[in-house]
Amino acid sequence: MNFNGTLDASCELQILLSEIEEEIRRRAYRLYEQRGRIEGYALDDWVQAEAEVATTLRFRWSYVVVD
């Protein structure tokens, strides 16, 4: 936080990255559950979850207008 008590850019970035990582974690777990909780696919689930979350974020950010 800065002197005013507001978050500075680096704190905001850390929060955003934490939220993205948590979304990846949740999606990877759902993939694990969909497979019937079969062990041995954690990396595959994580990579697929990253790709899905990245696609979702690109879609959302495509609507952001930059001045």
Residue 1 Cα distances to 12, 13, 16, angstroms: 9, 12, 15
pLDDT in tens, 36-52: 999 999 999 999 999 99
| CA-wise closest residue to 29 among 59, 12, 58, 52 | 52
Tens of pLDDT, residues 16-31? 899 999 999 999 999 9
pTM (2 decimals)?
Answer: 0.75
| Banded model confidence at residue 3, pLDDT cuts 50, 70, 90 | low
Q: Kindly report the average pLDDT of the chain as a whole number.
A: 87
d(CA 40, CA 18): 25
